[in-house]
Amino acid sequence: MVATVTSSEYLLPSMGFEPAYAKLYGTGELQQRVEQALEELGRCYICPRDCGVDRLADKTAACKTGRYAQVSSYFPHFGEEDCLRGWRGSGTIFFSMCNLRCVFCQNFDISQVHRGPAIPPGQLAGMMLKLQDMGCHNINFVTPEHVVPQVLEALVLAVTDGLKLPIVYNTSAYDSMTSLHLLDGVVDIYMPDFKLWDSQQSLRYLKAKDYADVACGVVQEMNRQVGPLKFDENGLARRGVLVRHLVMPGMIDQTSEIFRFLAEEVDSNTYVNVMSQYRPEGKVTGEKYEEINRAVTMPEYLAAVQIAHRFGLRLDQRKSNGEILPRLMQAI
* pLDDT, mean of residues 118-135: 98
The Cα angle at residue 217 between residues 269 and 180, in degrees rounded to 5: 95
Distance in angstroms (rounded) separating the CA atoms of residues 148 and 38 = 9
What is the model's pLDDT at position 301?
Answer: 98
Contacts (Cβ under 8 Å, ≥6 apart) of 242: 81, 83, 84, 189, 190, 191, 229, 271, 272, 273, 316
Lowest mean pLDDT among 21-35, 177-191, 269-283, 312-326: 312-326
Q: Residue 51: how many CA atoms within 13 Å on its side-chain side?
A: 18
* Residue 26 CB-density burial (10 A; 0-12 exposed, 13-18 middle, 19+ buried): exposed
| Sequence-distant (≥ 6) Cβ neighbours of residue 314 within 8 angstroms | 228, 229, 269, 270, 271, 272
pLDDT of residue 7: 72
Tell me the mean pLDDT in the region 137-159: 98
pLDDT given at position 79: 96
- pLDDT above 50 (res 330): no
93 vs 111: CA distance, rounded Å: 13
pLDDT band, very low/low/confident/very high, at 1 (cuts 50, 70, 90) = low
Spatial separation of the C-alpha atoms in residues 292 and 279, rounded to whole Å:
9
Closest by CA position to 204, among listed 326, 87, 290: 290
CATH superfamily, domain at 12-331: Aldolase class I (3.20.20.70)
Q: What is the pLDDT of residues 5-20, one digit of tens each?
A: 447 899 999 999 999 9
- Residue 109 is predicted with a pLDDT of 80
Q: How confident is the model at residue 329 (pLDDT cuts 50, 70, 90)?
A: very low
Helix, strand or coil, per DSSP, at residue 71:
strand
**138-147 average pLDDT score:** 97
**If you average pLDDT over residues 69-73, what whole number do you get?**
96
- Region 115-129: mean pLDDT is 94
Model confidence at 278: pLDDT above 90: yes
Average pLDDT for residues 129-144, to the nearest whole number?
98
User: What is the rounded CA–CA span in Å between residue 111 and residue 129?
Assistant: 24
Detail the DSSP E strand segments found in 64-133.
69-77, 90-95, 118-119
Q: What does the alpha-carbon distance between residue 289 and residue 284 come to, in Å, rounded to a whole number?
A: 5
Residue ranges per structural domain of the chain: 12-331
Question: Does 173 score more than 70 pLDDT?
Answer: yes
Q: Is 245 helix (H, G, I), strand (E, B) or coil?
A: strand
Residue type, 62: A
Tell me what pLDDT residue 319 has. Answer: 58
| Cα–Cα distance, 173 to 51 (Å, whole number) | 18
End-to-end CA distance of the chain: 28
State mean pLDDT over 110-137: 93
Mean pLDDT, the chain, whole residue set: 93
For residues 313 and 326, which has the higher predicted lDDT (pLDDT)?
Answer: 313
10 touches 230 (CB < 8 A): yes
Any idea which of 73-77, 221-225, 317-321 has the lowest mean pLDDT? 317-321
Per DSSP, the three-state class of 258 is helix
